[in-house]
């Protein structure tokens, strides 16, 4: 005897969080049943495999029907089809838009296009995340990107408003959108030690300081694109390295204040000009899209790696960058104080976040 049809419909939609996770993870019904069996649920409840199978199917069907609504979370909130308590709605949305660290590291900064979607097979194999789950995560990125791409106002708030995500998740999505838009390279081997969280932090700093929206809160502002004028102006900073006097003054100011405070004083003194050149060069090149993309590689290659090879501690880096930044203000001939702060504040935060093993 086979059951052709087997359904359970509650007035309040029944949601099993464990099954939801399995579904989100892209497991087929039979895999999900196997996994649930392993969890020992039968022993706890005295149910049979048939019951488990039927239950799993039922939940999968529900999730499948809900998926359409999850694509537009505000619809899920206002729809009448499924009666779901608000706390559960929030949970459904949050989990649906959650993503795997290993997946996002593969996709971060890539163009969210069909081409990338075709590579999901490889990503799936590499990360051991099911293709189905990869697709969901990728589609989420793309969907959020599409909606907020052309939108004015705060990126995080736009995302929160349209996708009803928690603050944390909305910030992560803002980072993903920001990275995808500027196509920052994050996948190179040298960058592998960086976590998504590191990038998300950097993205937040850049959005807060370097985009159009950062200057004033005019509604026309866009958070997604870097402030082109600002990038142009950054060229002015070149004087810090191009003018030999300025460079020397700057160096002496930094060295004076750091003497005895920093554990790698000699290395710092020896390397100062290189490091300063690196930081200012990165700034001046940001007008080219190509160099924007390589921003993180440059930071790592030109700054982090040299410091690491000299065994700077995080504290050394912090002391150096702080002094490096503030000392520039006392260099009389240097006139771009505001520009310098806008640039260096972000660079400092990013470097400190990225300076780890």
Partner 1 sequence: MPGKLKVKIVAGRHLPVMDRASDLTDAFVEVKFGNTTFKTDVYPKSLNPQWNSEWFKFEVDDEDLQDEPLQITVLDHDTYSANDAIGKVYIDIDPLLYSEAATVISGWFPIYDTIHGIRGEINVVVKVDLFNDLNRFRQSSCGVKFFCTTSIPKCYRAVVIHGFVEELVVNEDPEYQWIDRIRTPRASNEARQRLISLMSGELQRKIGLKVLEMRGNAVVGYLQCFDLEGESGLVVRAIGTACTLDKISNTAFLPACNSPSKEMKEIPFNEDPNPNTHSSGPSTPLKNQTYSFSPSKSYSRQSSSSDTDLSLTPKTGMGSGSAGKEGGPFKALLRQQTQTALEQREFPFFTLTAFPPGFLVHVGGVVSARSVKLLDRIHNPDEPETRDAWWAEIRQEIKSHAKALGCHAVVGYSESTSICEEVCILSASGTAAVLNPRFLQDGTMEGCLEQRLSWQPGFFSIGSEKGEVDFFPQNQDSSSLLGTEETSPLGCGFCHIPYDELNMPFPAHLTYCYNCRKQKVPDVLFTTIDLPTEAMVIGKGCLIQARLCRLKKKAQAEANATSISNLLPFMEYEVHTQLMNKLKLKGMNALFGLRIQITVGENMLMGLASATGVYLTALPTPGGIQIAGKTPNDGTYEQHISHMQKKINDTIAKNKELYDINPPEIPEEIIGSPFPEPRQRSRLLRSQSESSDEVMELDLSHGKKDAFVLEIDDTDAMEDVHSLLTDVPPPPGFYSCNTEIMPGINNWTSDIQMFTSVRVSRLSNINLTNQTLNKNFNDLCENLLKSLYFKLRSMIPCCLCHVNFTVALPEDEVIQVTVTAVAITFDKNQALQTSQVPAAEKTLQRASTDNEEQLQFPLELCSDPLVSQPFSPAKEVLENASSHTGIPAAQRAASLDKASPLAEGHLRHRSIPSCTNSSVSVVKMTPLSFIPRAKITKYLGIINMFFIRETTSLREEGGVSGFLHAFIAEVFAMVRAHVAALGGNAVVSYIMKQCVFMENPNKNQAQCLINVSGDAVIVVRESELEMVPVQPSAPVSQPTSAGGDVTT
Q: Name the residues that contact partner 1, by CB under 8 A.
A: 1-14, 17, 45-48, 50-52, 54-55, 57-58, 61-62, 64-65, 73-75, 77-83, 85-87, 89-91, 93, 151-154, 157-158, 160-162, 164-166, 170, 219
> Which CB, 63 or 320, lies closer to partner 1?
63
> Which CB, 68 or 356, lies closer to partner 1?
68
Round to whole Å and give the CA distance between 148 and 163.
Answer: 10
Round to whole Å and give the CA distance between 299 and 238.
Answer: 17
In whole angstroms, how close is the CB of 23 to partner 1 at the nearest point?
Answer: 14
In whole angstroms, how close is the CB of 204 to partner 1 at the nearest point?
Answer: 15
> Which CB, 58 or 243, lies closer to partner 1?
58
> Which CB, 84 or 231, lies closer to partner 1?
84
In whole angstroms, how close is the CB of 21 to partner 1 at the nearest point?
Answer: 13
In whole angstroms, how close is the CB of 87 to partner 1 at the nearest point?
Answer: 6
Round to whole Å and give the CA distance between 134 and 68.
Answer: 17
In whole angstroms, how close is the CB of 15 to partner 1 at the nearest point?
Answer: 8
> Which CB, 170 or 347, lies closer to partner 1?
170
Region label for 311, one of left (φ > 0), alpha (ψ between -120 and 50) or beta (otherwise): left
Round to whole Å and give the CA distance between 290 and 262.
Answer: 35
Residue 187 in contact with residue 109, Cβ under 8 Å? yes
> Which CB, 72 or 252, lies closer to partner 1?
72
In whole angstroms, how close is the CB of 43 to partner 1 at the nearest point?
Answer: 12
> Which CB, 170 or 214, lies closer to partner 1?
170
Per-position b or e across 125-162, b if 16+ CB within 10 A of its CB:
eebebbebbbebbbebbbbbbebbbebebbbbebbbbb
Residue 112 in contact with residue 145, Cβ under 8 Å? yes
What are the helix (H) ranges across 12-154? 17-24, 29-38, 41-45, 49-70, 73-78, 86-97, 101-107, 114-118, 120-127, 131-149
In whole angstroms, how close is the CB of 111 to partner 1 at the nearest point?
Answer: 24
CA 170 to the chain's CA centroid: 10
In whole angstroms, how close is the CB of 318 to partner 1 at the nearest point?
Answer: 31
Nearest CA to 314 among 277, 348, 291, 280?
348
- Residue 226 pairs in a beta bridge with 211
> Which CB, 60 or 184, lies closer to partner 1?
60
Non-local CB neighbours of 72 within 8 Å, separated by 6+ positions? none
């Amino acid at each position: 005897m086979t059951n052709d049809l087997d359904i359970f419909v509650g007035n309040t939609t029944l949601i099993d969080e464990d099954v939801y996770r399995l579904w989100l993870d892209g497991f087929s019904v039979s895999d999900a049943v196997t996994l649930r069996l392993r969890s020992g649920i039968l022993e706890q409840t005295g149910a049979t495999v048939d019951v488990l199978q039927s239950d799993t199917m039922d939940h999968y069907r529900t999730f499948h029907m809900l998926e359409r609504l999850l694509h537009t979370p505000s619809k899920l909130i206002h729809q009448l089809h499924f009666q779901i308590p608000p706390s559960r709605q929030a949970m459904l949305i949050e989990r649906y838009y959650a993503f795997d660290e290993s997946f996002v590291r593969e996709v971060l900064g890539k163009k969210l296009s069909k081409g990338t979607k075709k590579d999901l097979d490889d990503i799936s194999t590499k990360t051991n995340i099911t293709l189905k789950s990869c697709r969901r995560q990728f589609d989420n990125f793309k969907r959020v990107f599409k909606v907020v791409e052309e939108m004015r106002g705060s990126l995080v708030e736009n995302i929160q408003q349209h996708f009803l995500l928690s603050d944390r998740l909305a910030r992560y999505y803002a980072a993903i959108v920001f990275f995808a838009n500027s196509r920052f390279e994050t996948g190179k081997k040298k960058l592998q030690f960086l976590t998504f969280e590191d990038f998300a932090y950097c993205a937040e700093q850049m959005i807060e300081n370097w985009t159009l929206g950062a200057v004033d809160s005019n509604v026309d502002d866009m958070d997604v694109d870097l402030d082109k004028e600002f990038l142009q102006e950054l060229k002015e900073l070149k004087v810090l390295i191009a003018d030999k006097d300025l460079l020397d003054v700057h160096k002496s100011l930094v060295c004076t204040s750091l003497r005895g405070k920093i554990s790698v004083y000699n290395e710092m003194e020896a390397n100062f000009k290189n490091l300063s050149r690196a930081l200012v060069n990165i700034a001046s090149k940001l007008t080219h899209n190509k160099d924007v993309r390589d921003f993180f590689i440059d930071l790592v290659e030109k700054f982090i790696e040299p410091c690491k090879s000299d065994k700077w501690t995080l504290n050394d880096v912090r002391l150096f960058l702080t002094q490096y930044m503030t000392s520039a203000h006392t260099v009389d001939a240097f006139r771009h104080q505001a520009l310098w702060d806008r640039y260096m504040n972000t660079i400092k935060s990013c470097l400190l976040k990225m300076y780890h093993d």
